[in-house]
Amino acid sequence: MLKRIGFALAALLCVPTLVVAAEDARLLRFPDIHGDQVAFSHGGDLWVVSATGGQARRLTTHDGLELFPRFSPDGKKIAFMGEYDGDQNVFVIDAAGGSPKRLTYHPAVRSTSERMGPENIVMEWTPDGKRILFRSREETHSVWEGKLYTVSPDGGFPVELPLPRGGFASFSADGTRIAYCPIFRDFRTWKRYKGGAAQDVWIYDLVNAKSERLTDWEGTDNVPMWDHASGKIYFNSDRTGTLNLYVYDPADKSTKPVTTFTEYDVRWPAMGPGAIVFENAGWLYVMDLPNGTPRKLTVQLGSDRVPARDRWINAKDHIQDYTVSHDGKRAMFGARGEIFTVPAKHGNTRNITSTPNANEKHSTFSPNGQWIAYVSDVSGEDELYFQKVNSTDAPTRLTSDGDRYKYQLLWSPDSKKLAWSDKSARVFWIDVATKNKTLIDQDRRSDIRDYSWSPDSKFLAYSNNNDNFISQVWIYSLGENRTRVVTTAEFDDFNPIWDPQGKYLYFLSNRAYNPILGNYEFNFVLDKMTEIHALLLSAKDPSPFAPKSDEISPKKDEPAGKDSKKDDKKGDGDDAKKSVTVTIDWQGIEKRDVKFPIDPGQYDGLAAVEGRVFYVSSALGGLDGPVEDAKTTLHVFVMEDLKSHDFLEGIDGYDITDDGKKMIFKKGSSYEIIDATGERARPATTFLIYPTWT
């Protein structure tokens, strides 16, 4: 099996979800407090609840996100970040409810991930209630950067504060100074971080244009909040390893802890008149100032909970992975945590796991067609399971060490072993019968995701990074329980795939250095670096690309009158599949490296069947043309005539059956099973039909 590229399926799936209890709701985030009111975000909507807890009142119902509600100084209005018109902007709404008013209109710099934080985060109001402080990326060229602005609740153009960049901030009582963090890293999930993006709290004098650093802890000091009554500055810090509230007193320049949580961080604190509200473990806590003790709020959410209702979902829109059976008659898809098998031509789609309380993924057929294996978190953690094809018996659990995510499963050709890797960059194999697990290796720099079995199931090839991120190809011997490196450390070598006849180990290598000078910036660009190589496993075998010469072969003398035609009868076992035994001459193997006679390019997705090697080329714009014209092509290299042919164009991924006769490929939202023979793909012999139910 080759590494799988892309995703797959389409059947409708009924998804039952857990009903949220009426009491003690959680996942309450980004709170603010004013008097007896606490505003917060839950499920992407804004809610308001009493500062003593109880039944919450829903303030917004829009499909987009509404985050960071902030009360005006008089408590009559709430400013927030809303996602009403395609972008995330600043809005204001009456605290009693109503139609939100949009205040900013600048589009997002780009589509950013959640860990970079949203656009236009509302921080607080100015003390006089005339303007709203928010952070935006509208004038920056990096998702890491952001500046502080204010905007009137009546509308108008935002005004930039005279700071080059800023994160969470808070005004002094007279509005002439601002406590702020120059670095914004608050949506990152890094724990106990002490690197170059560690945050500190500063004060900037808006009148005299002077700045002063308040904290110098090597870890995280963030979300400063200026208490207008006492003049003290509260902030969050991980000085004990867990984020807790601290207070800085400008009078004696002392810093003291305020909260002492040890299990979960204090998150998203906000200050109102005489109190601070924050999130911890998904619950809300209120702490009265100056010497109050945090008290947990019990909040009930009275809503119809539409997302919690049982509903029908088209599984095709939630595909995670796909593969094809050994005979090409069925495909298997992982979709929204379930595993389905879909017929190539006749039959029905089957949900073979039906576990709405678990997530199954990385499913794969065994080469003998008798088993399927997959990863499931039904136990609470990722574990390996296998079961018989078309069986209703309970699956067998293979592992019990689910302390980290597991990746792609790969059956050995004899259907007796499985290999996989995990989030700790380790690669393992397990004997399915005995459940004995063996650690093969661990990468020092990144996940190991490209590994393949030898045709006799006795070796596993994979790539592993050195400290300089240069990857080499390694081979693990099951019989010796030993790994050996088989390529040099000069180039990036990866995606090793075995020749089904056991003669070669194919792999990709970035070693074509042909720098091109750019026309605009006059910088050198290294493009199309990847080549396809083969390692000769035996020192006795010649290179498959050695020069050939046609020579005359004399006929043998035959008695007159004898029919020279060969006997049409075939010997016993001629049609039987020959068993392959891989023999490796380790001495000097790294020198038996030969390059395929094709030009270098941008290649990946290497796979091999008998006498043929498949690979994918990508044209990603740039020197190849505009990005909108980008395309991928599946090529096949025929070893007999040493020529490469374009097999399929515009595909998003493919997988080949274990006998090399069929393949499944993804193109857009379609999945087809075709013959894997010939120099170019013929029209699909079968098409995956996706039944739907209403």
Q: Give the pair of three-digit tokens for residue 472.
A: 């080499």
Report the C-alpha gap between 427 and 658 in whole angstroms: 22
Contacting residues for 232 by C-beta, under 8 A, at least 6 apart: 247, 248, 249, 250, 290
Report the C-alpha gap between 535 and 472 in whole angstroms: 13
Q: Which residues pair with 678 in a beta bridge?
A: none
Judging by beta carbons within 10 Å of its beta carbon (0-12, 13-18, 19+), is residue 129 exposed, middle or buried?
A: middle
Which stretch of DSSP H or E encloses residue 343?
A: strand 338-343
Position 612 scores a pLDDT of 96
Please give the CATH number for the structural domain made up of 17-306.
2.120.10.60
Position 306 scores a pLDDT of 74
φ, ψ for residue 285, nearest 5 deg: -125, 145
- Are the beta carbons of 2 and 40 closer than 8 angstroms? no
Position 110 scores a pLDDT of 57
Judging by beta carbons within 10 Å of its beta carbon (0-12, 13-18, 19+), is residue 551 exposed, middle or buried?
A: exposed
Q: How far is CA 600 from CA 433, 514, 530, in A?
A: 43, 10, 5
Contacting residues for 16 by C-beta, under 8 A, at least 6 apart: 310, 356
End-to-end CA distance of the chain: 36
Report the C-alpha gap between 507 and 489 in whole angstroms: 14
Position 113 scores a pLDDT of 79
Residue 498, SS3 per DSSP: strand
Question: Which residue, among 171, 167, 265, has the nearest Cα to 223 in the 3D structure?
Answer: 167
Question: Which residue, among 170, 181, 185, 188, has the nearest Cα to 70 in the 3D structure?
Answer: 170
Query: What single letter denotes the amino acid at residue 576?
Result: A
Q: Which residues of the chain have pLDDT under 70?
A: 1-22, 108-111, 307, 555-578, 620-630, 683-694
Contacting residues for 116 by C-beta, under 8 A, at least 6 apart: 143, 144, 187
Report the C-alpha gap between 183 and 199 in whole angstroms: 6
Max CA distance (Å), the chain: 120
- Are the beta carbons of 199 and 220 closer than 8 angstroms? yes
Q: Which residues pair with 374 in a beta bridge?
A: 385
Position 554 scores a pLDDT of 75
DSSP label at residue 610: T
Cα angle, residue 686 at apex, residues 685 and 689 outer, rounded to 5°: 160
DSSP 545-563: TS-------PPPP--TT--
The sign one gets for the Cα dihedral 395, 397, 398, 402 is positive
Position 280 scores a pLDDT of 98
Report the C-alpha gap between 651 and 584 in whole angstroms: 35
